[in-house]
Amino acid sequence: MKRDFLDLGDFDAARIGQLLALARELKAALRAGRAEPLLAGRSLAMIFQKPSLRTRVSFEMGMYQLGGHALYLSPDEIRIGERESVPDVARVLSRYVDAIMARVFAHAHVQQLAEWASVPVINGLSDYSHPCQAMADLLTILEKLGTLRDVRLTYLGDGNNVLHSLLVGGALMGMHVVGATPPDYCPDPDTVTLAEGLAEQAGGSIRLTHDPVAAVREADVLYTDTWTSMGQEEEAQRRNAAFPPFQINEELVAEGPSIAGIMHCLPAHRGQEITDPVADGPLSWLFDQAENRLHAQKAILVHVLEE
**Residues carrying an active site annotation:** 103, 130, 133, 225, 265, 293
What single letter denotes the amino acid at residue 183?
P
Span between the terminal Cα atoms of the chain, in Å: 11
Q: What are phi and psi of 287, to 5 degrees?
A: -90, -25
Nearest-angstrom CA–CA distance, 296 and 129: 16
The helices-and-strands tally (H runs, E runs) of the chain is 13, 9
The alpha carbon of residue 276 and the mean position of all alpha carbons in its chain are separated, in whole angstroms, by 23
Distance between CA atoms of residues 43 and 64, nearest Å: 10
Distance separating alpha carbons of residues 141 and 54, to the nearest angstrom: 19
92 CB-near residues (< 8 Å, 6+ apart): none
How far apart are alpha carbons 91 and 227 in whole angstroms? 36
CB atoms closer than 10 angstroms to residue 274: 26
| Cβ–Cβ under 8 Å, residues 262 and 253 | yes
Q: Left (φ > 0), alpha (ψ -120 to 50) or beta: where does 126 sit?
A: beta
